[in-house]
Structure 1
Amino acid sequence: MNLTSPFSLALAVIVALSLLGVPVGHAMIGGSVLYLYLKGMDMGTAAEQLLNGTYSSFLLLAIPLFILAASIMSTGSILDRLLRFCNAIVGRFPGGLAQVNVLQSIVFATMSGSALADAAGSGKLMQAMMTKDGKYTPGFAAALSAVSSVIGPILPPSIPLVLYALVSGTSIGYLFIAGVLPGLLLGAVQMGLIYVLARRRGFPVEPKTPLREMPRITREAFPALMLPVILLGCMYSGVTTPTEAAGIAAAYALLISAGLYRSMGWRDLYDALLSSARMSISIGMLIAGALVFNYVITSENIPATLSKSMQGLDLSPLGFLLLVNLILLVLGMFLEGSTIILVMLPVLLPTATALGIDPVHFGVMAVLNIMIGLVTPPYGLLLFMMMRIADVSLTVLMRDVFPFLLVMLGALALVTVWPDMVLWLPRLMGYRG
């Protein structure tokens, strides 16, 4: 690569601005504008690509609506009711509260679609519950909250899968249903590891919930548990589009929070709207920057060049997937997940398609890989979030995260080599890819 070429200079500017603390979306726009200037192209093309990409995609509207639904569900007594329900189900097993942490992440995942929203919504509460009376060390509690939050973006609704659908043109409905078994697999391997660690370390078991209490606990949590049923039912019955289903999810969350549970006041609603707006704007700017930078990548013909290079290596489909996993794992150590989805996956997808790899399988595998990057140093965002919540060092946190990373990588390997785990449910729903 010519280090003085417009593309190389644009990359250097993006990296430099990012290292200086400029948001990645703004950095990509800045580097792209420089590229257009050096190539003698109309710099207004950047604004054209940004506006066309963001305002012509109805699917993008689903992202702030899913974020709003998660913010509303995180307020008031909804989370408390869900935790009591999860405790009644798995609290009696070895490592009771640790098992509850994973199960509540699975339940909350079907409402938020965001790992950061999951960690922010329940991380602080689970940290306090698990470390009370010295039941678990702060490092283990924080590590578990971080890794269990990774389940969120795999199960539907998933914001990262929405982003992948945006850049790949793949059906978001089939992507959502394809993430169910890999997401449950991720939860299963985490709960299995907790069981082993509980036996070795003597983790406490929570008191059994009396059978007579189960109907009341289930009844209290039932309206919240119905949200994913309503969301997915609307989508897969064909009644609504994914974006319309996201709007129904946000409205339903508000209805049960303010109307049924009466746990949300005007101030709580304002805070939920404000936090949702901030997160949506952050993701929106990242998407905008990626759209402009993707135009630069396309102009340089990088996807076609990379595809020819990959085909020249004479890789089998499995060999290519293993190479992609390695690339994404390394990138996940340094880059934020949405950036990888929006910038790297459009470059790799043409090669995957040429090798006959199903785009739904490729997308779910890639998103699972990228989400593991959220708990991989040195950049793992979930690690930094839980460090602040638990007030523990990265060294302490990583010691307890490492065993979970190993079993999660095992789950990733299984998803990679066994496409039917991803594609079985979509095919039952009529997928013919």
Structure 2
Amino acid sequence: MNFTSPFSLALATIVGLSLLGVPVGHAMIGGSVLYLYLKGMDMGAAAEQLLNGTYSSFLLLAIPLFILAATIMSSGSILDRLLRFCNAIVGRFPGGLAQVNVLQSIVFASMSGSALADAAGSGKLMQAMMTKDGRYSPAFAAALSAVSSVIGPILPPSIPLVLYALVSGTSIGYLFIAGVLPGLLLGGVQMALIYVLARRRRFPVEPRVPLREMPRITREAFPALMLPVILLGCLYSGITTPTEAAGVAAAYALLVSAALYRSMRWSDLYGSLLSSARMSISIGMLIAGALVFNYVITSENIPASLSASLKGLDLSPIGYLLLVNLILLVLGAFLEGSTIILVILPVLLPTATALGIDPVHFGVMAVLNIMIGLATPPYGLLLFMMTRIANVPMQELLREAFPFLLVMLGALAVVTLWPGLVLFLPRLAGYTG
């Protein structure tokens, strides 16, 4: 590799700017503009790629709408109602509150679609609940909140799967439904591990909720629980496009919060709009930077060269998937997840397609892998977030998170080696891939 070539200097610029604290999206745009300058190409191509990529994809509008729906639904009393519902279901089992933490992540996934949003919202509340009166150690509670937040982006609506649909052209509807069983598998292995740890460490059991209280608790949580049903119903009935379904989800979230639960004031709505706008802008700049940098990658003919090199290895489809998993696990320990989806997966996808690997299976597997990276040292964003929230040393948090990472890798192996698990529900819905 020529370290003085325009592409090498562009990569060095992106890494250097990122290390200086410049947002990754801005760093990719800066490095790409430098590449165009050094190659003597029209630097206006950067703006052209950015504008064409963002304005030609109607699907991108779904991202801020999903974020808005999640922000509204996580405000007011909705989260409290959902936690009471989860506690009524699994609180009676060994490690009751720990089981509630995982179940609420599965439920909250229907609103957030983001691991970081899950950890920042319900994770902070669960940390306080679990450590009250010394029932669980702060490190265990923080580690569990970090790893359980990984479930959110696998289940619909999933912002990472929307990004994958953007770069791969795969149906977002089939991707959403394909993530259901892997997401439940991930939650299942975490809850099974908690059961084992609870027996060994004698974790407390929550008071049993009287049976007569169940109808009331379910009725209070029911409107919030209906959000994923409405979302998937709109998608698979053909009533709406994915972007329109995201708009319906945001409108439904506002209706439930403001009109039904009466838990949202004008100031809360303003705060939700402001918070979702900030998050959307952050993701939007990352997408813009990736679009420009992908143009650089294509100009260097890297996808075709890499595809030819990988074909030369004469890998079977399973062998290639295992290699991709290894690559993504290493990258996920250092890079932010959206960057990997937008920059790395478009390079790996052509070879997967040439080997006959289903793009829906490939996408769900890759996103699951990348989300595990959010809880993997040294760069796992969920780990850093929970150390700040819980005020615990990183070393203690990692020690508690390690068993969960092992069982999650086991779930990833199942998803990788058993495509039928991922494709079962999409095929029921008419998918022919």
Give the TM-score, by structure 2 length. Answer: 0.99
Q: 1:271 offset after TM fit, Å?
A: 1.0
How many angstroms does 1:124 deviate by? 1.1
- Runs of 4+ aligned structure 1 residues displaced above 2 Å come to none
Q: For the residues of structure 2 that align with 1:34 and 1:392, how far apart are their CA atoms?
A: 41
Residue 91 of structure 1 aligns to which amino acid in structure 2? G
In structure 2, the partner of 1:140 is 140
Corresponding residue for 1:378? 378
Match of 1:125 in 2: 125
Question: 3-state DSSP class of the match of 2:314?
Answer: coil
Q: Please give the alpha-carbon distance, in whole angstroms, between the structure 1 residues aligned to 2:110 and 2:261.
A: 20
Letter of the aligned partner of 2:235 in structure 1?
Answer: M
User: Which residue of structure 1 aligns with residue 323 of structure 2?
Assistant: 323
How far did residue 4 of structure 1 move?
1.1
Quote the residue 1:251 is aligned against: 251
Q: CA deviation at 1:270?
A: 1.1
SS in 2 for 1:213: helix
Partner of 2:404: 404
How do 1:27-46 and structure 2 match up within 5 A?
A: 27-46=27-46
**C-alpha distance in 2, partners of 1:402/1:228?**
31
Q: Distance in 2 between matches of 1:36 and 1:54?
A: 20
**Partner secondary structure for residue 375 of structure 1:** coil
**AA of the residue aligned to 2:132:** K
Determine the C-alpha separation between the residues in 2 that align with 1:274 and 1:294: 30
Q: Which residue number corresponds to residue 310 of structure 1? A: 310
**Structure 1, residues 316-350: CA drift from partner, whole Å, max 9, x if none?**
11111101000000000100000000000000001
Partner in structure 2 of residue 75 of structure 1: 75
Counterpart amino acid of 1:235?
Answer: L
Q: Which residue of 2 aligns with 1:103?
A: 103
Equivalent position of 1:170 in the other structure: 170
Aligned to 2:224: 224
1:210 equivalenced with 2:239 (yes/no):
no
Matched, 1:292 2:270: no
- Residue 78 of structure 1 aligns with an amino acid whose one-letter code is I
Aligned to 1:362: 362
Cα distance, 1:267 vs structure 2:
1.0
Residue 420 (structure 1) aligns with? 420
RMSD: 0.6
Give, in angstroms, the shift of residue 2 of structure 1. Answer: 1.2
CA distance in 2, matches of 1:378, 1:317: 30
Q: Which amino acid letter does the alignment assign opposite residue 110 of structure 1?
A: S
| Separation in structure 2 between the aligned mates of residue 255 and residue 110 of structure 1, nearest angstrom | 16
Cα deviation, 1:210-265, whole Å, max 9, x if unaligned, reads: 00000000111111111111111111111001111111111111111111111110
Aligned to 1:425, the other structure's residue is in SS state helix
Tell me, in whole angstroms, the C-alpha distance in 2 between the residues paired with 1:352 and 1:195: 38
Equivalent pairs counted in the alignment come to: 433
Q: What letter corresponds to residue 408 of structure 1 in structure 2?
A: M
CA distance in 1, matches of 2:97, 2:30: 47
Gaps of 5+ in 1: none
Q: Tell me the distance in 1 between the aligned counterparts of 2:361 and 2:93.
A: 34
Q: Distance in 2 between matches of 1:190 and 1:300?
A: 43
Whichever residue aligns with residue 101 of structure 1, its letter is N
* Matching residue's letter, 2:324: V
Tell me the distance in 2 between the aligned counterparts of 1:313 and 1:200: 46
C-alpha separation between the residues in 2 aligned to 1:242 and 1:148? 26
Matched, 1:63 2:63: yes
2:186 aligns with 186
> How far apart are residue 397 of structure 1 and its match?
0.7
CA-CA distance at 1:55 after TM superposition: 1.0
How far the C-alpha of 1:112 sits from its partner, in A, is 1.2
SS in 2 for 1:208: coil
* Residues 19-57 of structure 1: CA deviation (Å, up to 9, x unaligned): 111100000000000110111110000000001111111
- Other-structure match for 2:431: 431
Match of 2:388 in 1: 388
Cα distance in 2 for partners of 1:310, 1:107 equals: 40
Q: Aligned partners of 1:431 and 1:235: how far apart in 2?
A: 14
Q: Which amino acid aligns with 1:96?
A: G
Quick one: distance in 2 between partners of 1:416 and 1:229? 27
In 2, Cα distance between equivalents of 1:156 and 1:407: 22
Q: Which amino acid aligns with 1:339?
A: T
- Corresponding residue number in structure 1 for 2:273: 273
How far is 1:375 from its partner? 0.3
